[in-house]
Amino acid sequence: MEPLKIAVLHIRDTREHNPGFQLELDELNANTAAQIRAEGHEPELVATRQLSLEQVQQVVDRSDAVIIMGGEDVDPELYNGPEDYPGSGAHEPQADRNQIAAIRYAMATDTPLLGICRGMQLLNVALGGTLVQHLHNTQGHRGEGRDPFALTRAGFVADELAEDLSARDVHRCSHHQSIHSLGAGLQIAAMSNDEVIEAVVHHSAKATAVQWHPEHSQTAGSQLGPLIRRLARQHARPTAGEAGILRRHLVVA
């Protein structure tokens, strides 16, 4: 198999307002790029905050697969949620809109897509879904103190996705929001023991997303590796018959 060009879409390269968070995300981005190389493919890290929509399309066009990374909460305006909610902080509206455009364009062009954490929430919002703005059991999904990650086990994983989603593993999560109503075409692929949606797939497009962080330094080989191999299998699969329908409905806007 020829090496794939995989675009890794994150938000920004600097956060003067929150340098500690920037360092955390830089490490996760670096882990992702390293694992893509370990699988024999070529990563391209792309900060999306200041891209134009034309540039977003160009990134997807030159890529064989796309990964949407984590970061700040999704702008609540995009799913008609209230602006004031527990745990609300900085939002990145332009990055949100650019990454949603990338998601829709990838799906419309049959480009395999993986969403991680915020990337899963953006995929859901891009397809008309909504979010739980603050989990009542946040302590089970986000660490406190110096370690932002909480250890979570899936109570349900779809049988056919058990290997790709590392069903028997402990996952590292760091989020206080989650999917509420599912976006069009999405199916639940995994749920935690406390019934938070932890993974979704699209019923016809080549789109997969997980709420946990498979790119964590302790799990990238065992958890992100299978998901990258899933992208490679999807890339090798012939274009789905539904792609024409998706192309008509999932336009960049």
Q: CA separation (Å) from 241 to 109, 204, 237, 246?
A: 12, 9, 12, 10
**Residue of 176, 202, 213, 216 marked catalytic:** 213
Q: Is the distance from CB of 176 to CB of 208 less than 8 angstroms?
A: no
**What pLDDT is attached to residue 240?**
57
b/e map 145-163, b = 16+ CB within 10 Å: eeebbbebebebbbeebee
Q: pTM higher than 0.75 for the full model?
A: yes
Sequence-distant (≥ 6) Cβ neighbours of residue 95 within 8 angstroms = 11, 12, 48, 49, 71
Per the DSSP assignment, residues forming a β-bridge with 116 are: 210
Local confidence pLDDT in tens for the 253 residues of the chain: 799 999 999 999 999 988 988 999 999 999 999 999 999 999 999 999 989 999 999 999 999 999 999 999 999 999 999 999 998 888 999 999 999 999 999 999 999 999 999 999 999 999 999 999 988 877 767 777 677 888 988 999 999 999 999 999 999 998 899 999 999 999 999 999 888 999 999 999 999 999 999 999 999 999 999 999 999 999 998 875 544 444 444 544 4
Is 215 labeled as catalytic in the residue annotation? Answer: yes
**Residue of 39, 41, 117, 173 marked catalytic:** 117
Q: CA separation (Å) from 135 to 40, 86, 139, 201?
A: 38, 9, 9, 22
Please, what are the domains in the chain?
5-249 (3.40.50.880)
Q: Is the distance from CB of 206 to CB of 234 less than 8 angstroms?
A: yes
**Residue of 39, 92, 198, 215 marked catalytic:** 215
Is 202 labeled as catalytic in the residue annotation? Answer: no
